[in-house]
Amino acid sequence: MTPSPDRVRLHVVTGKGGSGKTTVATALAMALARDGRTVLLVEVEERQGLAQTLDTPPLGPVERRVADGPGGAALWALSVEARASLLEYLQQFYRLGRAGSVLEKVGAIDFATTIAPGVRDVLLIGKVFEATRRTSGRPHPKGTPEHYDAIVLDAPPTGRITRFLSVNEQVADLAKAGPIHSQAGAITTLLHSDQTRVHVVTLLEEMPVQETVDAVAELREAGLPVGAVVVNQARAALLDEPDEVALLALADGTIDVPAVADAVGSVGIDDPQRVAGSLLDTARGYRDRLDLEAAQYDLLEQLGLPLVLLPLLPDGIDGGALAELADLLAEELDPEPDEDAGQLDLPENGLAR
C-alpha cells in the first residue's frame, strides 16, 4: 500500500558543501508548491543562500511570500536566526519586553545562542517545528499562512546534519528542564516520525559520495528517516546514447585518431591533427569520468534508497533551470497520488532499513 505522499510534511535537505543542496532544496520546494499547496522553505545558517537562489531580497526571521504557483499555490521563505527565535520564545513564555533587553545587555542572549551547546540548534529547529504544527486557529505571526502543506529545510551540511537533528540528546544532557528541554522532546518525536524525510544531495565524486554514505549510516543509527539521495550535476547526462557509444570507441582506440583527423579535416576545420588529438583527450576524460561516476553510483545504490539523478546544467542555475529541476524532483519525490504506485520511487516505499 502506498501511503499518501502528503504525509511527509517536513523535507530536510542536506549535502556536502558545494553539492548544490540549497539549489535542490529550492527546486524541491517549488515542486511541492503546486496544485494550490502552501510551502515554506527555510534556511538556518544565515547565509542568505535561498535569497540568492530565488533572486529575491534578503530573507528575514519572519516568513515572506516569494513565489506564486499554479492553482493558488504559494512559496514562502524564511531565514531563521537563533537570536530572533530566542527573543520570540522569551516573549511567548515570559512576556519579556524590557527584560529581553537586559538579557541582551549582559550578554546572556549571546551566551544562549552561540555558546550554550545545542541551544542554538534547538532554537533553529524550534522555528521549523512551529511551522509544521501550524493549524488554523493557532497563534502565528501576522500576515503569514495559517497552515503549511509542506516545509523544506535547507539544513546544515552532511558533516553536521545528524548532530543538528539530534537536538534532544544534546539538550537532555545539558538543559535538563525548562521549555527548551520540553520542546526538544516534541521536536525529536516529529523528526523521527513518518512526517519527516531527510534527503541527501551529492555529486558523483569520491568525497561527496563517501560523506553521503557516512551521513546515511549516521542518520539511520540515530533513527532519523532517510528519504532519497539526490545526485546532482550528473555528467553522464551530457550526451545521448549513440554519441556515448561513438565516444567510447574513440577513447578505447577502436577508432583511430588519423581517421578522426580526416573526418574533421573534411568539414573544413583547421589543423585537424591537433583537433583530433584534443578530441581523443576529451573522449578519454569522458570515459574516465563515466567510470568514476559508475563506481560511485554503485556505492550509492548499495544504500538501498531511492536515487534521483539531476543533470549538470551547463548554463548555470536560473529560474528556468530551477523549474526544470523542480519537474524532475516532483516526479521522484512528490508524485501524483493517482499514478501507478509501482512505478514510483516514493521515499515512503524505499525505506527498507
Partner 1 sequence: MSRTPTTLDLPALVTDPATRIVVCCGSGGVGKTTTAAALAVHAAEAGRSVVVLTIDPARRLAQSLGVGELDNTPRTVPGVGAGGGRLDAMMLDMKRTFDDVVHAHADPQRAAQIIANPFYQSVSSSFAGTQEYMAMEKLGQLRAEADRTGRWDLIVVDTPPSRSALDFLDAPKRLGSFLDGRFVRLLAAPAKVGGRASVKALAGGVAVATKVLDKLLGAQLLRDVQTFVAALDTMFGGFRERADATYALLSEPGTAFLVVAAPERDALREARYFVERLAHDQMPLAGLVLNRVAQPGPIGVDRALGAALQLTDGEESGAAERAAAAALRLQASVGALAARHRAALRGFAAAHPGVPVAVVAAAPTDVHDLEGLRQILR
Angle at 17 between CA 81 and CA 19, to 5 degrees: 120
Angle at 328 between CA 131 and CA 338, to 5 degrees: 75
Query: Is position 221 an interface residue for partner 1 (rule: CB under 8 A)?
Result: no
Nearer to partner 1, 208 or 347 (CB): 208
The distance of closest approach from Cβ of residue 128 to partner 1 in the complex, given in angstroms and rounded to an integer, is: 17
Show the binding pattern over residues 233-272: x = contacts partner 1 (CB under 8 A), - = does not: -----xx--xxx-xx-xx---xxx--xx-xxx-xxxx-x-
Residues 311-340 touching partner 1, rule: CB under 8 A, are 314-317
Q: Find the distance separating the first CA and the last CA of the chain, reported in whole Å.
A: 17
Among 25, 42, 124, 175, contact with partner 1 (rule: CB under 8 A): 175
4, amino acid identity: S
Tell me which stretch binds partner 1 (CB under 8 A): 115-123, 126-134, 217-225, 297-305: 115-123
Query: Is position 116 an interface residue for partner 1 (rule: CB under 8 A)?
Result: yes
Query: Is position 115 an interface residue for partner 1 (rule: CB under 8 A)?
Result: yes
Among 275, 309, 341, 351, contact with partner 1 (rule: CB under 8 A): 275
Tell me which stretch binds partner 1 (CB under 8 A): 35-43, 167-175, 330-338, 344-352: 167-175
Instruction: Judge contact between 307 and 299, C-beta under 8 A.
Output: no
Query: Is position 76 an interface residue for partner 1 (rule: CB under 8 A)?
Result: no
Partners of residue 68 on adjacent β-strands? 74
Query: Is position 309 an interface residue for partner 1 (rule: CB under 8 A)?
Result: no
Going from the C-alpha of 284 to that of each of 140, 260, 301, the distances in angstroms are 58, 14, 25
Write the burial class of residue 339 (CB in 10 Å: 0-12 exposed, 13-18 middle, 19+ buried).
exposed
The distance of closest approach from Cβ of residue 40 to partner 1 in the complex, given in angstroms and rounded to an integer, is: 22
The distance of closest approach from Cβ of residue 343 to partner 1 in the complex, given in angstroms and rounded to an integer, is: 30
Query: Is position 205 an interface residue for partner 1 (rule: CB under 8 A)?
Result: yes
Going from the C-alpha of 132 to that of each of 14, 67, 86, 145, 171, the distances in angstroms are 19, 20, 18, 11, 21
Residue 90 grid cell: 522569551
Query: Is position 49 an interface residue for partner 1 (rule: CB under 8 A)?
Result: yes
Nearer to partner 1, 292 or 328 (CB): 292
Alpha-carbon gap, residue 72 to 48, rounded angstroms: 26
Tell me which stretch binds partner 1 (CB under 8 A): 6-14, 69-77, 125-133, 153-161: 153-161
The distance of closest approach from Cβ of residue 326 to partner 1 in the complex, given in angstroms and rounded to an integer, is: 19
Among 67, 283, 333, 344, contact with partner 1 (rule: CB under 8 A): 283
Nearer to partner 1, 93 or 339 (CB): 93
Total residues contacting partner 1 by CB under 8 A comes to 91
Query: Is position 55 an interface residue for partner 1 (rule: CB under 8 A)?
Result: no
Among 19, 162, 168, 196, contact with partner 1 (rule: CB under 8 A): 19
Nearer to partner 1, 217 or 238 (CB): 238
Among 186, 207, 217, 294, contact with partner 1 (rule: CB under 8 A): 207
Residue 265 grid cell: 579535416
DSSP string for 226-276:
EEEEEEEEEGGGGS-HHHHHHHHHHHTTSS-HHHHHHHHHHTT-SSHHHHH
Taken in order 52, 57, 58, 63, the sign of the CA dihedral is negative
Tell me which stretch binds partner 1 (CB under 8 A): 57-65, 70-78, 96-104, 329-337: 96-104
Alpha-carbon gap, residue 67 to 215, rounded angstroms: 32
The distance of closest approach from Cβ of residue 350 to partner 1 in the complex, given in angstroms and rounded to an integer, is: 26
Going from the C-alpha of 230 to that of each of 93, 189, 292, 349, the distances in angstroms are 40, 25, 17, 16
Query: Is position 47 an interface residue for partner 1 (rule: CB under 8 A)?
Result: yes
